[in-house]
Amino acid sequence: MEVQKPPPKYTSPKGMWVSKLLLRSLMLIFAIALVSLAGSLMGSFLFSSVTFIIVAPAGFLSLIWNFSEALCVLTRGGHRGIHPGANVALDLILWLGLTGVCVALALIGRGASVVSGGYYGILYRRDHTNSLDLFDDAADTFAGLRSKSQALLGLGAVLE
Protein backbone atom coordinates (compact mmCIF):
# COMPACT_ATOMS: atom_id res chain seq x y z
CA MET A 1 0.00 0.00 0.00
CA GLU A 2 1.14 3.41 -0.91
CA VAL A 3 1.11 6.09 1.80
CA GLN A 4 -0.95 9.10 0.80
CA LYS A 5 0.60 12.48 1.27
CA PRO A 6 -1.47 15.18 2.94
CA PRO A 7 -2.68 17.89 0.60
CA PRO A 8 -0.40 20.90 0.34
CA LYS A 9 -1.09 23.76 2.71
CA TYR A 10 -3.12 26.48 1.02
CA THR A 11 -1.32 29.78 0.64
CA SER A 12 -3.00 32.82 -0.86
CA PRO A 13 -1.09 34.51 -3.66
CA LYS A 14 0.34 37.86 -2.64
CA GLY A 15 -1.89 39.89 -4.97
CA MET A 16 -4.98 38.15 -3.61
CA TRP A 17 -4.38 38.71 0.09
CA VAL A 18 -3.07 42.27 -0.40
CA SER A 19 -6.15 43.25 -2.42
CA LYS A 20 -8.42 41.57 0.14
CA LEU A 21 -6.67 43.44 2.95
CA LEU A 22 -6.88 46.78 1.12
CA LEU A 23 -10.58 46.38 0.34
CA ARG A 24 -11.40 45.34 3.91
CA SER A 25 -9.40 48.31 5.23
CA LEU A 26 -11.32 50.65 2.94
CA MET A 27 -14.62 49.19 4.13
CA LEU A 28 -13.43 49.61 7.73
CA ILE A 29 -12.81 53.32 7.08
CA PHE A 30 -16.27 53.69 5.49
CA ALA A 31 -17.91 51.96 8.47
CA ILE A 32 -16.14 54.33 10.90
CA ALA A 33 -17.24 57.32 8.82
CA LEU A 34 -20.83 56.03 8.67
CA VAL A 35 -21.13 55.58 12.43
CA SER A 36 -19.43 58.89 13.23
CA LEU A 37 -21.62 60.80 10.77
CA ALA A 38 -24.72 59.22 12.29
CA GLY A 39 -23.44 60.26 15.71
CA SER A 40 -22.98 63.84 14.55
CA LEU A 41 -26.64 63.91 13.47
CA MET A 42 -27.69 62.67 16.89
CA GLY A 43 -27.56 66.14 18.43
CA SER A 44 -29.91 67.72 15.91
CA PHE A 45 -33.42 68.47 17.09
CA LEU A 46 -35.06 67.07 13.97
CA PHE A 47 -33.48 63.64 13.82
CA SER A 48 -32.71 63.18 17.54
CA SER A 49 -31.33 59.69 17.99
CA VAL A 50 -33.47 57.88 15.41
CA THR A 51 -30.80 58.04 12.73
CA PHE A 52 -28.14 56.70 15.07
CA ILE A 53 -30.41 53.88 16.24
CA ILE A 54 -31.04 52.87 12.62
CA VAL A 55 -27.41 53.15 11.44
CA ALA A 56 -25.38 52.03 14.46
CA PRO A 57 -26.12 48.26 14.45
CA ALA A 58 -25.27 47.81 10.76
CA GLY A 59 -22.26 50.13 11.02
CA PHE A 60 -20.81 48.45 14.10
CA LEU A 61 -21.40 44.97 12.69
CA SER A 62 -19.64 45.96 9.48
CA LEU A 63 -16.82 47.49 11.50
CA ILE A 64 -16.31 44.32 13.56
CA TRP A 65 -16.59 42.01 10.54
CA ASN A 66 -14.12 43.92 8.37
CA PHE A 67 -11.66 44.24 11.25
CA SER A 68 -11.80 40.53 12.04
CA GLU A 69 -11.35 39.56 8.39
CA ALA A 70 -8.36 41.89 8.02
CA LEU A 71 -6.89 40.53 11.25
CA CYS A 72 -7.30 36.93 10.02
CA VAL A 73 -5.65 37.73 6.69
CA LEU A 74 -2.69 39.26 8.51
CA THR A 75 -2.22 36.66 11.25
CA ARG A 76 -3.27 33.26 9.86
CA GLY A 77 -0.77 31.05 8.14
CA GLY A 78 -0.77 31.38 4.39
CA HIS A 79 -2.56 34.75 4.67
CA ARG A 80 -5.90 32.98 4.67
CA GLY A 81 -8.96 34.86 5.77
CA ILE A 82 -12.14 33.56 7.31
CA HIS A 83 -13.87 30.69 5.51
CA PRO A 84 -15.26 31.85 2.13
CA GLY A 85 -18.76 30.59 2.97
CA ALA A 86 -18.80 32.71 6.12
CA ASN A 87 -17.57 35.69 4.08
CA VAL A 88 -20.38 35.33 1.57
CA ALA A 89 -23.04 34.77 4.23
CA LEU A 90 -22.12 37.69 6.47
CA ASP A 91 -21.45 40.05 3.58
CA LEU A 92 -24.90 39.19 2.21
CA ILE A 93 -26.52 39.79 5.61
CA LEU A 94 -24.69 43.11 5.90
CA TRP A 95 -25.75 44.05 2.39
CA LEU A 96 -29.40 43.33 3.15
CA GLY A 97 -29.20 45.22 6.45
CA LEU A 98 -27.52 48.25 4.91
CA THR A 99 -30.06 48.27 2.09
CA GLY A 100 -32.76 48.52 4.74
CA VAL A 101 -30.80 51.28 6.45
CA CYS A 102 -30.50 53.23 3.19
CA VAL A 103 -34.23 52.89 2.51
CA ALA A 104 -35.05 54.03 6.07
CA LEU A 105 -32.67 56.98 5.78
CA ALA A 106 -34.15 57.97 2.44
CA LEU A 107 -37.64 57.90 3.96
CA ILE A 108 -36.46 59.93 6.97
CA GLY A 109 -34.79 62.40 4.62
CA ARG A 110 -37.98 62.68 2.57
CA GLY A 111 -39.94 63.38 5.74
CA ALA A 112 -37.38 65.96 6.84
CA SER A 113 -37.64 67.81 3.55
CA VAL A 114 -41.42 67.94 3.91
CA VAL A 115 -41.14 69.18 7.50
CA SER A 116 -38.45 71.76 6.80
CA GLY A 117 -40.04 73.26 3.71
CA GLY A 118 -43.68 72.44 4.19
CA TYR A 119 -46.10 72.98 7.01
CA TYR A 120 -43.60 73.91 9.71
CA GLY A 121 -41.81 76.29 7.39
CA ILE A 122 -45.09 78.15 6.80
CA LEU A 123 -45.77 78.30 10.55
CA TYR A 124 -42.29 79.59 11.17
CA ARG A 125 -42.77 82.40 8.66
CA ARG A 126 -46.07 83.43 10.24
CA ASP A 127 -44.62 83.58 13.73
CA HIS A 128 -41.50 85.55 12.84
CA THR A 129 -42.47 87.81 9.96
CA ASN A 130 -40.30 90.69 11.21
CA SER A 131 -37.28 88.56 11.97
CA LEU A 132 -35.92 87.09 8.74
CA ASP A 133 -32.58 86.30 10.38
CA LEU A 134 -34.16 83.55 12.46
CA PHE A 135 -35.68 82.03 9.35
CA ASP A 136 -32.32 82.17 7.56
CA ASP A 137 -30.65 80.44 10.52
CA ALA A 138 -33.27 77.69 10.44
CA ALA A 139 -32.85 77.30 6.67
CA ASP A 140 -29.07 76.99 7.12
CA THR A 141 -29.56 74.38 9.84
CA PHE A 142 -31.89 72.32 7.64
CA ALA A 143 -29.48 72.63 4.70
CA GLY A 144 -26.66 71.29 6.90
CA LEU A 145 -28.84 68.44 8.10
CA ARG A 146 -29.86 67.61 4.55
CA SER A 147 -26.25 67.50 3.35
CA LYS A 148 -25.22 65.30 6.29
CA SER A 149 -28.15 63.01 5.60
CA GLN A 150 -27.21 62.72 1.96
CA ALA A 151 -23.62 61.94 2.92
CA LEU A 152 -24.89 59.30 5.35
CA LEU A 153 -27.04 57.77 2.63
CA GLY A 154 -24.08 57.75 0.23
CA LEU A 155 -21.77 56.09 2.75
CA GLY A 156 -24.42 53.48 3.46
CA ALA A 157 -24.72 52.75 -0.23
CA VAL A 158 -20.94 52.46 -0.63
CA LEU A 159 -20.70 50.17 2.37
CA GLU A 160 -23.22 47.84 0.78
Predicted confidence at residue 78, as pLDDT, reads 83
Please give the residue that has the higher pLDDT: either 138 or 25.
25
Share of the chain above pLDDT 90, in %: 21
Predicted confidence at residue 154, as pLDDT, reads 75
Min mean pLDDT across 1-10, 55-64, 79-88 is at 1-10
Residue 98 makes CB contacts below 8 A (sequence gap 6+) with: 58, 62, 156, 157, 159, 160
- pTM as predicted: 0.70
Neighbouring CB atoms inside 10 A of 148's CB total 17
Mean pLDDT value of segment 120-128: 46
Instruction: Quote the CA–CA distance of 27 and 40 in Å, as a whole number.
Output: 20
Predicted confidence at residue 67, as pLDDT, reads 94
Mean pLDDT value of segment 34-60: 77
